[in-house]
Structure 1
Amino acid sequence: MKVLKVLQQGLLATALVSLGGCSLFEDEELTYKELQPFNATVNPSAQWDVSVGDGVENFFSRLNPAVVGDVIVAADRDGYVAAYSRSDGKRVWERDLQAEYTAQGASWLDGTESLRISGGVTGYAGKALLASENGDVFMLDAATGEVNWHAKVNAEIVADPAFDGSYVVVAAGNGQIFAFDAENGEEIWNLPTDVPALTLRGNSKPTLAAGGAIIGTATGKLTVVVLQNGQQAWEARLAVPKGATELQRLVDVDSAPIVSGPTIYNIAYNGQLAAVEIRTGRIVWQREYSSFQNLAMYGSNLYLTDTQDHVYSINTDGGIERWVNNDFEGRELTAPVYFQGYIVVGDDFGYLHFIDAQTGKTSGRLELDDAAYSQPVVEDDQLFIQTRDGTLLAVRIN
C-alpha cells in the first residue's frame, strides 16, 4: 500500500490505495507471490544486530541508516539517534533529540510529543543529517553526536536532506525546496514548486551536483535549481498526467536522481524512466516504467523496483532491458541496491532477497525478524538494513 496525501482547500487528508490498481471503495483481496524454492548460490548472514529505539512502527517512512567513516548512524521516528561501530555493532554514542527538542506534556499518552523523524539519515564529511515531519532539520557530528545546528521550516519533510559540504537542501511535502548554509544552518533561499490536489506520500531526495540541486517534483518533472541563488535552470518532464480522475493522473517523481558523468537518471510514477542531459535538460532516452522507489546504479546498469514489485536491470546505453525478476510480485519490495554481484531488496514480510546481477535469477535469501521498508545501505563488504521495529542489522555474504 502507498499513502496518498490529498490537499484541498487548505486541509490535509490522507487515503490509502493499492498501487496495483485496487479500488478505493471496494474490498479486494490483496495478492502476493509466495516464496518458491530456488537454487541458492549465496549464503548471506547477519554479522550483528542492535535495537535502535522503537523504529518507525507502521508509519510511512524512508528513514534509513547512514555510514559515516567507521560508524553507522541510525534513528527512530520519535527522535532517538545513535552511532554504532561498523565492525562489531557496539554503540559509540546515543542522543535523545525527542527529549531535547519536543514539548513536554504535548501528548496525553506518554507526556512527550514524537519528533516524527522521517527524512535521513544522510551522512557526509563527518556529519549526519536528519529531518522531520514537524519541519526540523538537524546536523549532528557523526563522531560525537553533538548537534551542530537545528533549523525549522513551516513544512513537513519526509525525504532525506542532501548535503555537499557547503549546502544542505531539503524538499518539503508542500512543494517548497529549502537551502541552508551547511556551516550554521541559516536559510539561504526557498523555492516553491507546484503540488497537485492528489500526490503520492513522499518526496524526491535532492541530488547536489555541478553547482545545482536536482529534484523530482509532484508534477512529473525533473528540475535543476542553482545552489548559489535558488533560481531554476531548467526542467524536464518525465510523466504527463493522463486519465479522468486525480488518482489516474498521479505522476510524482519521488526517486532520488542519479548523476553519472553528463547524464541524470530518474523515474516517475505512471511515467518514464529517463536519461537527461545535465547541462540542458534534454531527454536523451526514455522508457516506460513506473516507480516511486529510488534507483540503483552499478557500472553501466540501472536497477529498479516497479509498482508491481518487479525488479529490472536496464542498460544505461539506450535504456535496453537486460532482465526482469517477478518472483516477488505484491510483496512490497524496497528500492534495490547492488552488493557484491547481487541486487538486494527487502520485503514487507521480513526477508532480504539476493538476485544475481548478471542473470536476474533469485540466488539467496535472509529472513529478518520484521518488515524491511527502506533501501538497504552498502559500504565495502557490509550491507545494512533497518526494519520497522528498529532492528539494525549488518549483513555479510559467506
Structure 2
Amino acid sequence: MTLNIRSNNYANKTLLKTTVMHVAVLALMTSAVMGCSRGIKPVVNDPVKLVQLAQPISVLQPVFMVDVGNKKASSKDPLSLQVGYDNNQIVIASRGGDLVGYNEAGQRLWSLNVDDQIVGGVALDSFSQTAVITTRSGMVMAFDSTTGAKRWQQQLTGTVLTKALISNNRVILSANDGFLQGLSLQNGQPVWKFATQVPDISVRGTAAPTLLDDKTALLATADGRLHAITVDNGLPQWSRRIGVGTGSSEVERMSDVDGTPIVDNNELFAISYSGQVIGIDLASRQVKFVNELASLKSLAVNNQQVIGTSLTGKIVAYDRSSGETLWENDELGYRKLTNPVMIGNYIAVGDLGGVVHLIDPASGKIVSRVQTKGALQTLQVQGSRLLTQSTSGQAAIWQLAR
C-alpha cells in the first residue's frame, strides 16, 4: 500500500511519496507514543493456504492467453493494467511501455513501445477504434486500435493510475493530483477540468471513472466523495460523501474511495477504505443502507446481493435491499484479493497467487478455480467472458463454460 503525503501549499506542488503498509505506519506511531524506537515490528499476516476443492466443477475455459512481460516495471505504482477488449479487438499494455494489438485468434497485429512506463489502461472504444493509455510521467496517449498508429498525446499535471472512460467523444480521467479532466477524443485537447479536495494523506490509487447515465460521469475521489459530472462540459451535478474516516491520526482518518462505484438498475453501490458499504436509490437520492467493510476494490452486484472483498481477504455478501449480511467467506484471508465480479451465475475473485476462485453466490462456497501466472489486481467481465492481467504480464480471456 502506498500513501501519498501531500503538502498543503499547493503553490509549490511538492509531492512526497512513501511506500508503507498501513499497519506499519500505525505500529511506528504506537512506537513513538511509547517512546520506544526499537523492537517493534509491524504485524504481517501470512496468506491463508488454499485447501484443495473436494469436487470442483468446470466454470471457465481459456480462449486467449499471452505473456507481454513486465520489463522495466517500477514497484512504486499500483499494478492494475487491464486488457482492452471490445468487439473482437484486443489491446494489451505492459508495465515496460509495450502496447500490442491482437485478434481473437491470438495473432499479433501490431506492437509499439511508448518510451515510458504505462500505469493506466487499456481503455478501448470500438466505435472510434481508439485505445487510450496513461504513463507514469503524466502523459495520456491515444492510438488507432486496429493499426497502432498514434493519434495524439496530452501532458497532464498529475498521473492517472487507472484506465480512462471513453464516452460521448470525451476521454475522462481521474489524476492523483485531485483533478478530474475531460479531453477531446478526436485530438486530446482539454475540454474541461474539475478540481477536488486532496487530503494530506491518502492511499495511492484512484477509482476508474464510470457512467452514471448517458450524459453523466461518476468519479470517486481520495477524500471519500462521489462526484456526478456532465460528460460533455464537466459541470458538477451533485456530490456525496461515502467514506467517513475516524481516529486521532490522519492515517486512521483516511477515507479513500478507490473502488469504482457500481451503477445497476437505477441503484448505486460504493465502498470505502474507511469501512463503509453503501447503497443509494438514484431516483430518490436516498440511502438504502450502510454496512461495514473496508476495501480498496470495487463491489459486485447481482439481482439479490452486493458482494465485497475486504482488506483482510474476507468475501462478504449483503442483501441488496436491506444491506443485511447474508454470508461471509474467510477461506482466502490475506491473499490480497481483487474486486469480485459476476460471471454467469458465479462470483469470481482473483488473488496474489494468480488464482481465480469461482464462488456459489447462494452459499458463499468456492466451487471452482483457474490458474494464471503472477498476482492479480483487477478482474473485468464482458458478457460471458472474464478478462485477467497479472502483475507478471500474463493476459488472458476466459469463456464461461456451457
**TM-score range relative to shorter protein:** 0.7 to 0.9
Partner of 2:2: 3
Indicate the residue corresponding to 2:349 in structure 1: 345
Instruction: Provide the residue aligned with 1:90 in structure 2.
Output: 107
The CA distance in 2 between the partners of 1:362 and 1:271, in whole Å, is: 25
Alignment partners' CA distance in 2, 1:45 and 1:263: 32
- In the other structure, the counterpart of 2:47 is 32
Aligned-residue offset at 1:354: 1.4
Specify which structure has the bigger relative contact order, considering alpha-carbon pairs within 8 angstroms and separated by 6 or more residues: 1
Aligned residues: 379
Aligned to 2:121: 120
Give me the TM-score of the superposition, normalised by structure 1. 0.88
1:176 has 2:194 as partner: no
Q: Percent identity?
A: 26
Contact 2:340 2:379 in 1 (8 A): yes
Which residue type is aligned with residue 149 of structure 2? E
User: Which of 135, 140, 147 is equivalent to 1:144?
Assistant: 147
Q: Deviations along 1:46-94, whole A, 9 cap, x unmatched?
A: 44421214265644222111212112211012321112223x3222222
Residue 275 (structure 1) aligns with: 279
Residue 15 of structure 1 aligns with which residue? 19
Structure 2 CA distance for aligned equivalents of residues 233 and 247 of structure 1: 30
Residue in 1 that maps onto 2:385:
382
* CA–CA distance in structure 2, aligned partners of residues 367 and 248 of structure 1: 36
Cα distance change on mapping 1:367 and 1:263 into 2, 3 Å: closer
Q: Does 1:54 align with 2:33?
A: no
Q: CA deviation at 1:377?
A: 2.5
> By how many angstroms is 1:351 displaced?
1.7
Contact 1:199–1:218 at 8 Å: present in 2 too?
A: yes
Match of 2:394 among 386, 391, 394: 391
2:87 paired residue number: 69
Distance 1:282 1:388, change over 3 A: same
Checking the alignment, whether the CA contact within 8 Å between 2:161 and 2:175 is kept in structure 1 is: yes
Q: 2:196 — aligned with what?
A: 193
Partner of 2:34: none
- Distance in 2, Cα, partners of 1:198 & 1:246: 7
Residue aligning to 2:207: 204
* Contact kept in structure 2, 1:57 and 1:389, CA below 8 Å: no
1:328 equivalenced with 2:332 (yes/no):
yes
Judged with a 3 Å threshold, the aligned counterparts in structure 2 of structure 1 residues 66 and 363 are, in CA distance, closer, same or farther, namely: same
Whole-angstrom distance in 2 between the partners of 1:50 and 1:281: 44
Give unpaired runs (5+ residues) of structure 1.
99-114
CA distance in 2, matches of 1:19, 1:72: 39
C-alpha offsets along residues 117-140 of structure 1, whole Å, 9 cap, x if unaligned?
A: 111112233322212221111222
Partner of 1:247: 251
Distance 1:325 1:212, change over 3 A: same
Q: Residues 299, 129 of structure 1: CA spacing in aligned structure 2 closer, same or farther, 3 A cutoff? A: farther
Map residues 279-294 of structure 1 onto 2, 5 A cutoff.
281-294=285-298
CA 1:181 to 1:11, structure 2 compared with 1: closer, same or farther past 3 Å? closer
Does the 8 Å contact 2:341/2:380 carry over to 1? yes
What SS is found at the alignment partner of 1:376?
strand
CA distance in 2: counterparts of 1:161 and 1:47, whole angstroms: 26
TM-score scaled by structure 2? 0.87
Cα RMSD, aligned residues only:
2.3
Q: 1:343 to 1:213 in 2, by over 3 A?
A: same
Relative to 1, partners in 2 of residues 1:89 and 1:297: Cα closer, same or farther, differing over 3 Å?
farther
**1:138–1:269 CA distance, 2 compared to 1 (3 A):** same
Gaps (5+ residues) in structure 2?
29-39
For residue 23 of structure 1, give the secondary structure of its aligned residue in structure 2: helix
Give the whole-Å Cα distance in 1 for the aligned partners of 2:290 and 2:366.
27
CA distance in 1, matches of 2:84, 2:323: 30
Offset, 1:281: 4.6
In the alignment, does 2:278 pair up with 1:304? no
